[in-house]
Amino acid sequence: MPSASELVRSCTSVFTLPELYFRVRDVVDDADSTMEDLAHVLKLDPLISARLLRIGNSPPYGFPKQIDSIMHAVNLIGAQAVKDLVSATTVGRTFSGMPAQFMDGLKFWRKSIFCALLAEKIAKSCGIGDSERFFVEGLLRDIGHFVLYQTVPQRAQSALIEAGYLEASLAEVEQSNIGCDFAEVGAELIWSWGMPVHIEQAVRCQLSPKDAGEFSLHASIVHLAGVVVDNEELEPNKRRQVLPFHSFAISTTKFASDNLPALVTEVHAQVQRTLALIYSHAMAA
């Protein structure tokens, strides 16, 4: 059976991030760069520019005057939020051509946005600084399934059905049926994109956060968000009352599970607004 890296290599020509992502990442990560530098890069992409202006003029920011320049929008929204927007948009473009016969791309992306927002809120509720950085990690948590459905769609679908029928771990069934699971494959894709190691490790070790070493906090946040999102995806009568959180993830984050219902309610309300800002009205409808 093929390894995770072999599956990724077989479709890297399909899953290629646009140059804009790397330009924005380099500017944001460069301590010597300015907001003006970031605005200059963003002006190269009309779609991103339009979305930034929409966000800047949206009610949550409540600026008294209309935001009509990219520079103004970037200053208002902040570099990290802009980076997250670009990541979400460019990754979304990358996978927009996925064949629909095996995977519902829109449903998948709603779930990914849900996970991204929830990861950010869980981190914030735990008192973790810069909680915004967990947005992209949550967003990419399940990205390995896009590779699996592109390269071994029948086996990926069979694993999903079997896991549901047996009420078993999807990752375990994928390991048995495919030879690797979605977390491994997603991490390999992220690594091939040259993304930061903390994102790669958060995705790779989400099923066993203690294996992430110095990045265990990142893996723990993604683990917690992923468990919740998977449970929310089930029919109401099949959802667990007690979620199977890894004890290591709870102890590492000191997450108070009593806060979870309120966080989930907040995220449900926020998903549609976020989709509408990142994507077109048609996709968010």
Task: Give 138 or 278, the one with higher predicted confidence.
Answer: 138
* Range(s) of the domain holding residue 71: 4-284
Binned at pLDDT 50, 70 and 90, residue 285 comes out as very low
Task: Give the number of domains in the chain.
Answer: 1
Residue 76 CB contacts under 8 Å (≥ 6 apart), including other chains? 56, 61, 63, 67
Whole-angstrom distance, CA of residue 74 vs CA of residue 81: 9
Q: What digits encode the pLDDT tens for the residues 107-165?
A: 887 888 899 899 999 999 999 987 777 888 998 899 898 888 888 888 988 998 888 88
Q: Which of 140, 100, 89 is nearest to 275 (CA)?
A: 89
In this prediction, residue 69 carries a pLDDT of 76
The residue type found at 229 is V
Q: What digits encode the pLDDT tens for the residues 20-33?
A: 778 888 888 888 88
CB-based contact 70:43 (threshold 8 Å)? yes
Whole-angstrom distance, CA of residue 100 vs CA of residue 98: 6
Whole-angstrom distance, CA of residue 7 vs CA of residue 151: 7
CB-based contact 95:146 (threshold 8 Å)? yes
In this prediction, residue 279 carries a pLDDT of 55
**Mean of the per-residue pLDDT values for the chain?**
83
- For the cut 90, the answer to whether the pLDDT of residue 6 exceeds it is no
Q: What is the pTM (predicted TM-score) of this model?
A: 0.79
Burial class (CB in 10 A: 0-12, 13-18, 19+), 261: exposed
Task: Give 206 or 11, the one with higher predicted confidence.
Answer: 206
Q: What digits encode the pLDDT tens for the residues 33-72?
A: 888 888 888 876 766 776 777 777 776 666 666 777 788 8
The CATH number linked to 246 is 1.10.3210.10
